[in-house]
Amino acid sequence: MRHWIKTHRRSALLVGITLAVPAYLFLLVLGQTLSVRAGYQDQIDTIEPRIARMQGLVEKEEALREALSGVNNVMNDHIYLETTDAAAVSASLQAEARRILGQSGMEVTNSQVLPVRKRDTFDYVSVKVVARGGLDQLDQSLADLARFRPVIFIESLDAFPNRKRRASDSEEQTLTVTMQLLSLRAIR
């Protein structure tokens, strides 16, 4: 065979190229095919957990719907509905704040409806209330505000003591309290 290669160099070169080119093309196509397969396998590996999650959601759909309705009921209990007008919510918040503070023994000296602040999913309805009373009355009114539904948030609270004018005044220290109260109204 070596003798033939030495004597027929051109023919040997053509035979070698004829065998090498198809082998090279075969290896090139094989490499491309394997890399494409690896890419598809990676995609399958990333899709499988998503499919499993989706199947789990489909299996639990009824339980999720029940939980969602429960959340909607709780949310409706804690915020004003979108069907309620913002001005009506402001007036209601102001009246309820005055009522709660009055029932706990505080004297409401001033209340003011603040402009409604619009956000993505809620309107922030605010009221500023100034009241005077004792520390026990303030504690009772804060507890009553915390129990009220729809929820009333206290955005700010400033309290300062009132000076006693006479020694004959009662021993209880009176406070002047300025509160900014907030309630949420759904938009969507």
For 99-133, write each residue's pLDDT tens digit: 999 999 999 999 999 999 998 888 999 999 999 99
Residues 6 or more apart whose CB falls under 8 angstroms from that of 143 comprise none
pLDDT digits (tens, 9 = 90+) for 12-28: 888 888 889 999 999 99
Locate all alpha helices (DSSP H) within 8-134, ordered by sequence: 9-59, 61-78, 86-103
Kindly state the DSSP code that residue 107 receives in the 8-state scheme. E
For 102-126, letters b (16+ CB in 10 Å) and e give eebebebeebeebeeeeeeebbbbb
How do beta strands 153-161 and 174-186 pair?
A: antiparallel
pLDDT greater than 70 at residue 168: no
Burial of 11 (0-12, 13-18, 19+ CB in 10 A): exposed
Q: 112 with 127: CB under 8 angstroms?
A: yes
Mean pLDDT along residues 24-41: 92
Burial of 149 (0-12, 13-18, 19+ CB in 10 A): exposed
pLDDT value for 91: 93
Burial of 84 (0-12, 13-18, 19+ CB in 10 A): middle
Q: Which amino acid is at 111?
A: S
pTM of the model: 0.61
How do beta strands 117-118 and 107-113 pair?
A: unpaired
Burial of 183 (0-12, 13-18, 19+ CB in 10 A): buried
Q: Report the share of the chain in percent with pLDDT over 90.
A: 49
Matching residue, tokens 């957990």: 49
C-alpha dist (Å) from residue 121 to 84, 144, 187: 15, 27, 5
pLDDT value for 104: 93
